[in-house]
Amino acid sequence: MRKEYFSIIKFPVLVSFSLLIITLIFFFIVLGSYHRLGLSVWGNVLYTILFMVIVILIGTWILALVSTHKKIKPLWLRHYLSWMLVNIYYPLARVFGRICFQKMDTIQESFLYFNNEIVVTNYQGMHSSNLLLLLPHCLQSSNCKIRINNNIVECQECGGCDMAKMKALTKDYQIKTAVASGGSLARKLVNDTHPDIIIAVACNRDLTEGVRESWRYPVYAVLNERPKGPCFETTVSPAVIDFAIHKFVQ
Ligand code: SF4
C-alpha cells in the first residue's frame, strides 16, 4: 500500500525536489560570487534573469499542484500549464529520477496519474459527446479474421477480445472511437476529429508520448494490461473505461 502510494506521488515529489535543489544551487552560486568578488553589472542582470526564471518555474508548479484539485477557468492558463507540464516538469522529473535511480516506467505512470487528476478536475461533467476513445491495435485478438483499420465498427462482436466490449460502450455513449496502430496514426486521428477530450488506452510509454504530443488536448490516460507481454493481445477493463467516459459525458 505504501509502495503503491509512493509510485502515485513519485512524479510530483521528483519535480518538487528538483526545483528545491535548483533553487539551493542558485543561491549558493550567487552568495559564493557575491562574497568573492561582489557582483558586476552583467552578473546582476544574469542572476536577476535566472532568479525570475526560478520564480516562474516554482509559481507555475504550485499552480499545477493546485490544478489537481481546483478547476482552472481560463483556457489559456490550462494550455500554459499543460505545456509546462509536458515540456519542462516531465523532463525535469526524468533527469532527477535517473539521478535517483528511479525506474522510468514508474515515473511515467505517476506522470499519467498526475495528468489525469488535472484533466478530471478541469473537465469532469462537461456534458460533451465530442469525446474520442483511442484504442491500441494490440487490443485485438491475434486470431481475429477481421482487420480493424481505425474503425471499431468493423468488429463483429464475437467476444474474442476486449474490442467487442469497447464497441458496446461506444454505442451506449454515442462517442467516437478509433483504433491506432502507432503514434503517427493516433496523431492523425486526433487532428482529424478535434475532440473535446481524449480517453486513450495504451502502455505507459505510448501514453506518455501521446499526452506530450497532444498537450493542447485534455488526455485521460488508461493503462492497458499486458498478460501476454507487450504489444500482444493486451486487455483493458471495460469498467474503467465506462467510469472514465461517464465522468466527462454526463
Ligand atoms: S471481438 Fe471483434 S475484434 Fe475481437 S476477435 Fe471478435 S470480431 Fe475480432
DSSP labels, 100-148: TT--HHHHHHHHHHHHHHHHHHHHTT-----EEEEEEGGGS-TT-SS--
The CA 152 to ligand 1 mean position distance, Å, reads: 9
Whether residue 116 lies inside any domain: the answer is no
Residue from 158, 162, 177, 181 to probe ligand 1 pocket by mutation (most atoms less than 8 Å from CB) = 158
Q: What percent of the chain has pLDDT over 90?
A: 75
Helix, coil or strand: residue 39: coil
Question: Cβ–Cβ contacts within 10 Å for residue 84, how many?
Answer: 18
Q: Is the dihedral of CA 135, 185, 117, 230 positive or negative?
A: positive
Establish if 115 belongs to a structural domain: no
Domain finish residue from 109, 144, 167:
109
Residue 118 lies in a domain: no
Report whether residue 172 contacts ligand 1, using a CB cutoff of 6 Å: no
Shared domain for 136 and 59, answered yes or no, is no
Question: What is the distance in A from the centroid of ligand 1 to the CA of 233?
Answer: 11
Q: What residue has cell string 455513449?
A: 173
Output the pLDDT for position 72.
Answer: 95
Q: How far apart are CA 56 and CA 50, in angstroms?
A: 10
Judgement on whether residues 92 and 15 belong to the same structural domain of the protein: yes
> What CATH number is associated with residue 146?
3.40.50
Domain boundary among 109, 138, 171: 109
Q: What percent of the chain has pLDDT over 70?
A: 95
pLDDT, position 53: 97
Q: What is the pLDDT of residue 16?
A: 97
**Number of structural domains found in the chain:** 2
Interval between CA 155 and ligand 1 midpoint (Å): 5
Question: Rounded mean pLDDT of the chain?
Answer: 91
The pLDDT of residue 38 is 65
Q: Give CA–CA dist 178/41, Å, rounded.
A: 58
117-128: average pLDDT: 90
Measured CA to CA in angstroms, residue 201 lies from 83, 101, 216 at distances of 21, 28, 18
Domain that holds residue 37: 2-109
Residues 112-130, mean pLDDT to the nearest whole number: 91
From the CB of 168, is ligand 1 less than 6 Å away? no
Residue 146 Cβ < 6 Å to ligand 1: yes
Phi, psi of 218 (to 5 degrees): -75, 120
d(CA 242, CA 170): 10
Which protein residue's CA is at the shortest distance from atom 8 of ligand 1?
A: 144
pLDDT value, residue 4: 62
pLDDT tens digits along 24-78: 999 988 887 766 666 677 878 888 899 999 999 999 999 999 999 999 999 999 9
